[in-house]
Amino acid sequence: MSPAFRSNLLQIGLPVILALGLFMPDWAIFLGIISLAKGLVVLGLMLLWRTGLVSFGQGLFYGAGAYMVGILPQYLPITDALLLVLISAVAAGFLAFALGFLLRRYREIFFAMLCLAFSMIFFGILVKSESLGSTDGFNVVETSYLGFVPEEPIVMQRMLYITAAVVAWFACLFVNRYLGSTMGRLSRAIKDNELRVEYLGFSAKRAVHFKIVIAGTMAGAGGALAAIAIGHVDPEMVWWIQSGEFVFVTILSGVGNVIAPLLGSVVFEILRTFAIEYAPQAWQFVVGGCLLAVIMFLPGGLWSLIERSKEGKDDGNSSR
């Protein structure tokens, strides 16, 4: 697991790939936006995973970002997509910051269960809030892009795709940089033995707290993007099955790299779209089966396939 990625590929390669996505056919562009949105959540989970933490409640921050997009324009005259996404991300980040004081004390299954508990409380509140549309949720306002209000839906989707791509790119750059920093490199150390980290003079709790905030912020941004793309928010976004899906995509992607979550997310959305299209009665079965197959036969996730093919050229810099 190389801590940081070769940055030229990230700085030039990733934006080129994302830009190419703009020329996708119309039906695929929505898929692209959702993949990027969920990829952001998975990017945060990957950060936690490298520390040995798994959140079974990341839907909380995803949903918080989404509901923020829905609620904010009702009170403030903001319709700009990028601004909405940023504000929602910050709001989700603050939520993560507040909850982080508690969450950072827990590890392993207890961390997962406490995350689940918080997300279920939020879910319960949303379901019982009549003003927020209860289980039906409510529709999100039409968004504008730097003052430009697209008339046709397809133009709007492309504008939103650009927004999502820019956010995802910045998130990748940031996380990559963070992983290369001392605090980022501590992730593995915290996973292996927290007490030793403390003896080295670092605060493992503070490091974990910071990761929770980053993961929450990115999940909020992802939720906001998804809400704008779908045009609707509902409590399902917070439901634990959704959180489980995020964890699944993390496994599918592999945690070796910041690009892996985006890649895994795209693969998952394609898989899901086709499964729903061709086997609507069996898509959960297909998803579950794939999850099992990945855990059994590809424990390093999809990224390990790429690593493996690279290994011949490099001298096996990656440990797994």
What string of H, E and C letters represents the secondary structure of the chain? CCCCCCHHHHHHHHHHHHHHHHHCCHHHHHHHHHHHHHHHHHHHHHHHHHCCCCCCCCHHHHHHHHHHHHHHHHHCCCCEHHHHHHHHHHHHHHHHHHHHHHHCCCCHHHHHHHHHHHHHHHHHHHHHCHHHCHHHCEECCCCEECCECCCCHHHHHHHHHHHHHHHHHHHHHHHHHHHHCHHHHHHHHHHHCHHHHHHCCCCHHHHHHHHHHHHHHHHHHHHHHHHHHHCEECHHHCCHHHHHHHHHHHHHHCCCCCHHHHHHHHHHHHHHHHHHHHCCCCHHHHHHHHHHHHHHHCCCCHHHHHHHHHHCCCCCCCCC
Site for another protein contains 292 (CB under 8 A): yes
What single letter denotes the amino acid at residue 144?
S
Does position 146 interact with another protein (CB under 8 A)? The reply is no
Give the count of beta carbons closer than 10 Å to the beta carbon of residue 175.
25
Site string for another protein, 230-269 (x = CB under 8 A): ----------xx--x--xx--x------------------
What letter represents residue 235's amino acid? Answer: P
Residue from 148, 170, 274, 285 binding another protein (CB under 8 A):
285
Question: Which member of 37, 54, 218, 302 binds another protein (CB under 8 A)?
Answer: 54
102 near another protein (CB under 8 A): yes
Nearer to another protein, 243 or 257 (CB): 243
Smallest separation (angstroms) from another protein to the CB of 287 = 6
Identify the residue among 284, 308, 311, 314 touching another protein (CB under 8 A). 284
Of the ranges 13-21, 24-32, 103-111, 216-224, which one interacts with another protein (CB under 8 A)? 103-111
CA–CA gap between residue 234 and residue 214 (Å, rounded): 24
Least Cα distance to 55 among 21, 11, 102 occurs for: 102
Asked if 74 and 179 count as a contact pair (C-beta separation under 8 A), the reply is no
Closest approach, Cβ 20 to another protein, in A, equals 33
Q: Is 106 in the site for another protein (CB under 8 A)?
A: yes
Task: Please report whether residue 46 would count as binding another protein according to CB under 8 A.
Answer: no
Q: Give the shortest CB-112-to-another protein separation in angstroms.
A: 7
113 counts as binding another protein under rule CB under 8 A? yes
282 belongs to the binding site for another protein (CB under 8 A): yes
Please report where in the chains the tokens 């999850």 appear, as a residue: 291
Using the rule CB under 8 A, is 296 a contact of another protein?
A: yes
Tokens of 311: 């290994």
Q: Is 83 in the site for another protein (CB under 8 A)?
A: no
Residues in contact with another protein, counted by CB under 8 A, come to a total of: 42
Q: Contact letters (x/-) for another protein, 172-211, by CB under 8 A?
A: ---------------------x-xx---------------
Contacting range for another protein; rule: CB under 8 A; set: 145-153, 173-181, 202-210, 277-285: 277-285
Between 33 and 294, whose beta carbon lies closer to another protein? 294
- Measured from the CB atom, the residue of 4 and 127 that comes closer to another protein is 127
> Which residue of 118, 145, 178, 246 would you call a contact of another protein, by CB under 8 A?
118
**Which residues in this chain contact another protein in the complex, by CB under 8 A?**
54, 102, 105-106, 108-110, 112-114, 116-118, 120-121, 123-125, 127-128, 193, 195-196, 240-241, 244, 247-248, 251, 281-285, 287-289, 291-292, 295-296, 299
